[in-house]
A and B are shown apart, each in its own frame.
Chain A
Amino acid sequence: MTFLELDGVSKSYGSGSGRSEVLHDINLRIDRGEFIAIVGFSGSGKTTLISTIAGLVQPDAGQVRLQGKPVAGPGPERGVVFQSYSLMPWLTVYGNVALAVDAVFRNQNRAERDELTRKYIEMVGLSHALERRPAELSGGMRQRVAVARALAMRPEILLLDEPLSALDALTRAKLQDEIVQIWERERKTVVLITNDVDEAILLADRIIPLTPGPRATLGPEFKVPLERPRDRTAMNHSPAYRGLRKDITEYLMAIGNTRSAAHDETLAAPSVVPISVSKAPPKAYRERADSPISARYVEFSKVSKVFPTPKGPLTVVEDFSLTMQKGEFISLIGHSGCGKSTVLSMVAGLADVSGGGIILDRREINSAGPDRGVVFQAPSLFPWMTAAENVALGVDRVYPHVSRAERRDVVAYYLDRVGLGDAMHKRASELSNGMKQRVGIARAFALSPKLLLLDEPFGMLDSLTRWDLQEVLMEVWSRTQVTAICVTHDVDEAILLADRVVMMTNGPNARIGNIMEVDIPRPRTRTALLEHPDYYRYREALLTFLEEYEQAGSAGGGGKSATGAKKAA
């Protein structure tokens, strides 16, 4: 018997000419005990959909039925976990979970409610943190409290609205494993909203895409034919996994392309040459820097970074040695806290080098400068300035010798290349996160830097926006061939972008573990990557490395890794 039904559900917001239909004709049938993943774009109405099922939002048309009965409002049989944890900051872990238990099971006595509260806190592995308040918990722990709170209501169905999107890759993997374990133990029906295709394949029985809004509706469903338990590294060998991943990704990219901003192919790159703000170093310095390393465009030589701490000096990065050729694109990958961003900050000149040295184009780096374009995770634009004005700030500084019109051409060219040709005069405050990051990319490229530095540039964006921007980045990069380093923890991003992937060991005392060469021809596209015969080999090599250091982290860090624990067992 169908457990949950959505029949022709539509939902609009606003009125008159401002009325926007968010959901359109949503039809869905879910059986009891099924695990369903709905994947979709940011702003496509995923949260409206989950809120409609939860009874927090009433549809304008159609009906939601749970076990044959229409849903008229929220109910304890539907547990919801949102991306933001929504915990009461003044209550402890116990207090937050007990709040829900006391409300739902008010007819039970105090001992029974206490037992229930403790049971679900234990299930998410937080028994040791009963008395801690949310401010004393990590993001992953807070999300576990939210999961425990939802489970403790003993709901018939668990509605998970991007519960893991804000977490780092390691914590995310661990919570994914926990969610599956809980689902298998409790046999709840689960609807998971996610923008991560791999997460959906790992967890779900069926995957259903939600098309981009407005008028978002459900696309064709994809059944996941993989046996459980599923291992995220071992899955790489499964043709079924590869085929499914390719099909879903291509479907999402195809519908995503319909919303991508078009750019003007006829606009040509301005033929102006930037100058460096600093004067060239003295002859003696150049001769000293030349020697055998002159052919190496970027060289890190035994670079280390030591931070003072109350317990004494802490060596975060140690003996980091690497050489790069001009025009090379390197991805720097490793777990959170391994010092990737520290390395990037040092080469950007934003942090001092404690030991060793970094040479860029025969000059030692000792301060920040416009010869290095940096794109951070947060685009950091001036909100009162337009996109063009934000980009022009740097352009005016590095091209002082050309006319204002030519400088404007540089700004227009790069904003157009990142798909913002029509939005360049919008204020930054009016742009979406994805658009802001496009401005950030345009700004960095427009400086014509000797070295482009990207620090998790797409980390805050959903997968689908991330794919878009990766393609944008590659398109612009292919025209400039600028030497680049991109810090990421996304293995697919690392492979897609790089000529070489540099893998860092865990900190403290982090260093380069090994380096993988990516021999996939350029220009690359995500579709071509998915079809490349060696793609999954590259992927597995990186995942294996990360898993190895995940285990190392858990061995030293008190059980950080679910997969590590599984292997050790």
Chain B
Amino acid sequence: MTAQPFSAPAGDVAGAVAGRFAAAPTKQPFIRATEIWVPTADRKQLELGAGLYGPLRAFEAVSQQTQFGYDEGLPGKAWAAGHPIVLKDLTNSYFKRGEAASAAGLTCAVALPIFAGQFLIAVLVLFCGDDREHVGAIELWHTPPGSVEMGLVDGYYGTADALEWNSRHIKFMHGIGLPGRVWATAMPVIMEDLGRSRQFLRWADAERVGINHGIGIPCGREGEGTWVLTLLSALGTPIARRFESWIPDADHGGLILHAGYCEHAADLASVYRGVVVPPDGGLLGHVWRTGAPALASELTSEPAMIAASTAEAGLTTMVAMPVIANAAIKAVVAWYL
């Protein structure tokens, strides 16, 4: 089938990025705030580029007034470390906005630095909280250079204790399980129906707590082993109701859908069959063009097919980030609520 390019987006990405005062989604989300920290013009500091805060206005206000130096605060630490960081103590640590986070009920943060080679593009920060209410998981897996096993560095699991215990005691081999498959392919991997998926080896725990879909994303600075971030989402308190992975297609000069899962659309592959997102095509195109993550709290200005599909699925927010290897975009990952 011939791929069809999107029409130009109705609104500019800047508008989407600027539209960071997002309304709270109807379901109680697992991730309560998402931030993108970008280097300042002199590249000495990190400043807030965009954020999705839902009702956490006070925390947002504090964030807007904050900047981080290299190795300072959570975003600065992630910049210095060169790999994602899971921080579960926001009040008695290097975390600078502890008081505001505590007031907002936030208990855990995950910082994901995005590099092009050795150069930082941005730091994506995800916040979780309301631990007793939430089921889901954000996990960080790592294998040092030359190692044959991938183990958990840390993770946040809400109430999914059994899954957490299992993850902390299990090491995955190259190509096995969600982290192992991301490691083997060096590409984002989306898995659905995790409670029944034989390839998701922790299926029994996932089934028990209601986690049913997830994504694994390769990340971290090149040459420092392999890092994989996994987002495991439950229906009740979703991290995302849709995951997508788009890859550049040289033949058509745009992004094509590589993999996807949506709670509402039975088959995303057929929804987006033949669709090509050009470099100027909405948030996805923006991420591909700039190599920087972006988010949007309003999707009507996205390219027509995406706007229509997300509207039909009742999705209102979107986070997109690049997967970069050898200074090139290998994929653009997006998740929606």
Q: Which residues of A contact B (CB under 8 A)?
A: 233, 292-293, 319, 321-323, 500, 505, 511-519, 534, 537-538, 540-541, 544-545, 548, 551-552
Q: A514-B177, A515-B173 are in contact. Are A540 and B148 (CB under 8 A)?
A: no
Chain B contacts for A292, CB-based, 8 A: 146
Q: How far is the CB of A22 from chain B (nearest CB, A)?
A: 45
Q: Is the CB of B198 within 8 A of A321?
A: no
- Give the complex CA separation of A513 and B173 in angstroms: 6
- Give the complex CA separation of A540 and B174 in angstroms: 23
- Give the complex CA separation of A518 and B201 in angstroms: 18
Chain B contacts for A323, CB-based, 8 A: 147-149
Q: How far is the CB of A539 from chain B (nearest CB, A)?
A: 12
What is the chain A residue whose CB lies nearest that of B204? A544
Q: Which residues of B contact A (CB under 8 A)?
A: 146-149, 162, 165-166, 169-174, 176-177, 180, 198, 201, 203-204
Give the contacting residue for B201; candidates A319, A500, A519, A545; CB below 8 A. A545
A-B contact count (CB 8 A): 59
Chain B contacts for A233, CB-based, 8 A: 204
Q: Rank and list the top 6 A-B pairs by shortest CB-CB distance, nearest first.
A: A321-B148, A515-B171, A544-B204, A512-B173, A517-B169, A514-B170
8 pairs across A/B with beta carbons < 8 Å? A323-B149, A513-B176, A515-B170, A516-B169, A537-B165, A541-B170, A545-B201, A551-B198
What is the chain A residue whose CB lies nearest that of B177? A514
What is the chain A residue whose CB lies nearest that of B162? A537
Q: Is the CB of A548 within 8 A of B149?
A: no
5 more contacts with CB within 8 A, not counting A321-B174, A500-B171, are A292-B146, A514-B173, A516-B171, A538-B169, A544-B203
Q: Is the CB of B162 within 8 A of A321?
A: no
Q: Is the CB of A517 within 8 A of B171?
A: yes
Q: A513-B176, A514-B176 are in contact. Are A540 and B169 (CB under 8 A)?
A: no
- Give the complex CA separation of A428 and B176 in angstroms: 46
What is the chain B residue whose CB lies nearest that of A322? B148
Chain A contacts for B166, CB-based, 8 A: 537, 541
Q: Is the CB of B203 within 8 A of A548?
A: yes
- Give the complex CA separation of A80 and B166 in angstroms: 44
Chain B contacts for A516, CB-based, 8 A: 169-171
What is the chain B residue whose CB lies nearest that of A323? B148
- Give the complex CA separation of A313 and B204 in angstroms: 36
Chain A contacts for B198, CB-based, 8 A: 548, 551-552
- Give the complex CA separation of A514 and B177 in angstroms: 8
Q: Is the CB of B204 within 8 A of A519?
A: no
Chain A contacts for B170, CB-based, 8 A: 514-517, 541
- Give the complex CA separation of A513 and B166 in angstroms: 14
Chain B contacts for A505, CB-based, 8 A: 176
Chain B contacts for A540, CB-based, 8 A: 204
Q: How far is the CB of B317 from chain A (nearest CB, A)?
A: 34
- Give the complex CA separation of A119 and B165 in angstroms: 48
- Give the complex CA separation of A233 and B203 in angstroms: 13
What is the chain B residue whose CB lies nearest that of A515? B171
Q: Is the CB of A512 within 8 A of B169?
A: no
Chain A contacts for B173, CB-based, 8 A: 321, 511-515
- Give the complex CA separation of A500 and B151 in angstroms: 13
- Give the complex CA separation of A321 and B147 in angstroms: 9
Chain B contacts for A538, CB-based, 8 A: 169
- Give the complex CA separation of A516 and B165 in angstroms: 11
Give the contacting residue for B172; candidates A500, A511, A514, A537; CB below 8 A. A514
Give the contacting residue for A512; candidates B147, B162, B176; CB below 8 A. B176
Q: Is the CB of A513 within 8 A of B148?
A: no
Q: How far is the CB of A557 from chain B (nearest CB, A)?
A: 15
Q: Is the CB of A513 within 8 A of B171?
A: no
- Give the complex CA separation of A515 and B177 in angstroms: 12
Q: A544-B204, A545-B201 are in contact. Are A534 and B177 (CB under 8 A)?
A: no
What is the chain A residue whose CB lies nearest that of B196? A567
- Give the complex CA separation of A322 and B148 in angstroms: 6
What is the chain B residue whose CB lies nearest that of A549? B198
Q: How far is the CB of A337 from chain B (nearest CB, A)?
A: 19
Chain A contacts for B203, CB-based, 8 A: 544, 548
Q: A321-B174, A537-B165, A541-B170 are in contact. Are A514 and B201 (CB under 8 A)?
A: yes
- Give the complex CA separation of A519 and B165 in angstroms: 12
- Give the complex CA separation of A551 and B196 in angstroms: 12
Q: How far is the CB of B84 from chain A (nearest CB, A)?
A: 22
- Give the complex CA separation of A233 and B208 in angstroms: 13
Q: Is the CB of A519 within 8 A of B169?
A: yes
Q: Is the CB of A513 within 8 A of B165?
A: no
Q: How far is the CB of B162 from chain A (nearest CB, A)?
A: 7
- Give the complex CA separation of A319 and B166 in angstroms: 25
Q: Name which of A292, A513, A545 has the most chain B CB atoms within 10 A of its CB.
A: A513
Chain A contacts for B171, CB-based, 8 A: 500, 514-517
- Give the complex CA separation of A516 and B170 in angstroms: 4
Q: Is the CB of A541 within 8 A of B169?
A: yes
- Give the complex CA separation of A189 and B165 in angstroms: 42
What is the chain B residue whose CB lies nearest that of A567? B196
Q: Name which of A505, A516, A541, A552 has the most chain B CB atoms within 10 A of its CB.
A: A541
Q: Name which of B147, B170, B173, B174 has the most chain A CB atoms within 10 A of its CB.
A: B173
What is the chain B residue whose CB lies nearest that of A541? B166
Chain B contacts for A552, CB-based, 8 A: 198
What is the chain A residue whose CB lies nearest that of B200? A548
- Give the complex CA separation of A518 and B169 in angstroms: 7
- Give the complex CA separation of A551 and B177 in angstroms: 16
- Give the complex CA separation of A321 and B172 in angstroms: 12
Chain A contacts for B172, CB-based, 8 A: 514
- Give the complex CA separation of A387 and B247 in angstroms: 68
Chain B contacts for A319, CB-based, 8 A: 174
Chain B contacts for A513, CB-based, 8 A: 173, 176-177, 201
Q: How far is the CB of A143 from chain B (nearest CB, A)?
A: 29
Q: Is the CB of A515 within 8 A of B146?
A: no
Chain A contacts for B169, CB-based, 8 A: 516-519, 537-538, 541
Q: How far is the CB of A566 from chain B (nearest CB, A)?
A: 14
Chain A contacts for B148, CB-based, 8 A: 321-323
- Give the complex CA separation of A512 and B170 in angstroms: 12
- Give the complex CA separation of A551 and B197 in angstroms: 12
What is the chain B residue whose CB lies nearest that of A301? B148
Q: Name which of A292, A293, A514 has the most chain B CB atoms within 10 A of its CB.
A: A514
- Give the complex CA separation of A323 and B151 in angstroms: 14
- Give the complex CA separation of A519 and B176 in angstroms: 23
Chain B contacts for A500, CB-based, 8 A: 171
- Give the complex CA separation of A552 and B166 in angstroms: 21
Q: How far is the CB of A253 from chain B (nearest CB, A)?
A: 27
Chain A contacts for B204, CB-based, 8 A: 233, 540, 544
- Give the complex CA separation of A319 and B204 in angstroms: 26
- Give the complex CA separation of A512 and B174 in angstroms: 9
Q: How far is the CB of A502 from chain B (nearest CB, A)?
A: 9
- Give the complex CA separation of A215 and B329 in angstroms: 78
What is the chain A residue whose CB lies nearest that of B165? A537
Chain A contacts for B177, CB-based, 8 A: 513-514
What is the chain B residue whose CB lies nearest that of A233? B204
Q: Name which of B147, B148, B177 has the most chain A CB atoms within 10 A of its CB.
A: B148
- Give the complex CA separation of A257 and B162 in angstroms: 36
